[in-house]
Chains A and B, each alone.
Chain A
Amino acid sequence: MQDIDINKATEPYEYYLKFIKENCRPDNRRLSDIRPCNVTTNCINTVNGSSLVKLGSTNVICGINARLCRPKEDRPNKGYIVCNVEVPALCSSKNFKSSTQSSSFSQSSVSSSTIEQTQAMLSQLMQDILTESKCINEEELCIKVGKLSWVLFIDLICLNNDGNVQDACCVAMVSALKNLRLYQIEYNEEEDKPVVKYPLEYKSLILYNEPVLTTLFAIEENILLTDPNKHEEDFMKTFVHICTIDSQKICLIRKLGGFCLKIEQLNMCITRALDNGKYIRENVYKNKY
Chain B
Amino acid sequence: MQFLETKLEAQLGCLTKPDGSAKFSINDTVQICGVYGPGEVKLMKEIAERAYVNVIYKPRVGANTNREKVMEYTLRSILDGIILTSLHPRTAINIIIQEIQNDSNFISCGINCTCLALLDAGIPLKFTFASVRLALTEDDNSIVYFPDSKQDKKIKISATFIFDSIDKDVISSNIDGIFDTKDFEYLMNNAKQYAITNIFPLYSKLINEKY
B70:A120 contact, CB within 8 angstroms: yes
Contact between chains at A256 and B77 (CB < 8 Å):
yes
- Complex: A100 Cα to B52 Cα, angstroms: 13
Q: Are B47 and A120 in contact (CB under 8 A)?
A: no
Distance between Cα atoms of A124 and B107 in the complex (Å): 15
Is the beta-carbon distance between B184 and A257 smaller than 8 angstroms?
no
- Tell which of B46, B50, B69, B79 has the most Cβ of chain A within 10 Å: B69
Report the Cα distance A26→B189, complex, angstroms. 38
User: In the bound complex, do residue A132 and residue B174 qualify as a contact, i.e. CB atoms below 8 Å apart?
Assistant: no
Assembly CA distance A132 to B181 (angstroms) = 16
A4 within 8 A of partner (CB): no
Q: How far is the CA of A256 from the CA of B169 in the complex (A)?
A: 13
Could you say which residues of chain B place their CB within 8 Å of the CB of A20?
none
Pick from B85, B169, B176: contact of A261, CB under 8 Å: B169
- In the complex, the answer to whether B45 meets A102 with C-beta atoms within 8 Å is yes
Partner among A118, A124, A249 whose Cβ is within 8 Å of the Cβ of B180: A249
Any A CB within 8 A of the CB of B81: yes
The residue that B178 contacts in the complex, of A123, A245, A261, with Cβ under 8 A, is A245
| B120 in the interface (beta carbon within 8 A) | no
B80 touches A257 (CB 8 A): yes
> What string of 1s and 0s marks CB contacts (under 8 Å) between B67-87 and chain A?
101101110111111100100
- B77 in complex: contacting residue of A104, A110, A249, CB < 8 Å: A110
A110-B77, A250-B179, A270-B184 are contacts. A257–B171 as well, Cβ < 8 Å?
yes
Identify which of A121, A132, A256, A258 contacts B69 (C-beta below 8 A).
Answer: A121
B178 A134 Cβ-Cβ under 8 A: yes
In the bound complex, residues from chain A placing their C-beta under 8 Å from that of B179 are 249-251
Say how far A248's CB is from chain B's closest CB, in angstroms.
5
Q: Which residues of A (110-132) have their CB < 8 Å from a CB of B? A: 110-111, 113, 116-118, 120-121, 123-124, 128, 131-132
Contact A257 B50 (CB under 8 A): no
CB contact between A117 and one of B72, B164, B170 (< 8 Å): that residue: B72
Choose among B72, B78, B80 the residue with the greatest number of A CB atoms under 10 Å from its CB: B80
Q: If the complex has contacts A121-B69, A256-B74, A260-B170, are A109 and B50 also in contact, measured as CB distance less than 8 A?
A: yes
A residues near B118, Cβ cutoff 8 Å: none
- On whether A238 and B81 interact (CB within 8 A), knowing A128-B176, A255-B170, A270-B184, the answer reads yes
Tell me the complex Cα distance, A262–B169, Å: 6
A253 touches B174 (CB 8 A): yes
B81 adjacent to A253 (CB under 8 Å) = no
Would you list which residues of chain B between 149 and 189 have a CB under 8 Å from chain A? Answer: 164, 167, 169-181, 184-185, 188
**Size category, B interface:** 35 or more
Cross-chain contact A260 with B164 (CB below 8 angstroms): yes
Q: Determine if B44 is an interface residue (Cβ-Cβ < 8 Å).
A: yes
Query: How far in angstroms is the closest Cβ of chain A from B104?
Result: 15
A86 to chain B, nearest CB (A): 13
Q: Closest chain A residue to B72 by CB distance?
A: A117
With CB as the reference atom, state the residue of chain A lying closest to B49.
Answer: A107
Taken together as a complex, chains A and B put the C-alpha atoms of A231 and B200 apart, in Å, by 38
Residue contact A104 to B46, C-beta cutoff 8 Å: yes
Per-residue 0/1 for B18-53: is the Cβ within 8 Å of any A Cβ (1 yes, 0 no)? 000000000000000000000000101111101011
Note all chain A residues with C-beta closer than 8 A to B53. 109
The reply on B208 being an interface residue by CB < 8 A is no
Selected from A101, A113, A124, A260, the residue in CB contact (under 8 A) with B76 is A113
A113-B73, A237-B81 given; A267·B172 CB < 8 A: no
Q: Given the complex, which residues of B lie within 8 Å of A166, measured CB to CB?
A: none
Contacts of A200 in B (CB 8 A): none
**Chain A residues in 8 Å Cβ range of B80:** 109-110, 257-258
When the two chains form the complex, which single residue of B46, B66, B177, B184 contacts A123, counting CB atoms closer than 8 Å?
B66
A21 within 8 A of B: no
A-B contact pairs, 6 of them (CB 8 A): A116-B69, A121-B69, A128-B176, A254-B175, A257-B171, A257-B172
Nearest first, the 10 A-B pairs at minimum CB distance are: A260-B169, A120-B69, A257-B77, A109-B80, A257-B78, A253-B175, A117-B73, A120-B66, A256-B77, A258-B81
Seen from chain A, the residues whose Cβ lies within 8 Å of a Cβ on chain B are: 100-102, 104, 109-111, 113, 116-118, 120-121, 123-124, 128, 131-134, 237-238, 245, 248-263, 266-267, 270
Known: A100-B44, A251-B176, A255-B172. 18 other contacts (CB 8 A): A100-B42, A101-B44, A104-B46, A109-B77, A111-B77, A117-B72, A120-B73, A132-B176, A132-B178, A251-B177, A251-B178, A253-B173, A253-B175, A255-B173, A257-B77, A257-B79, A257-B80, A260-B164
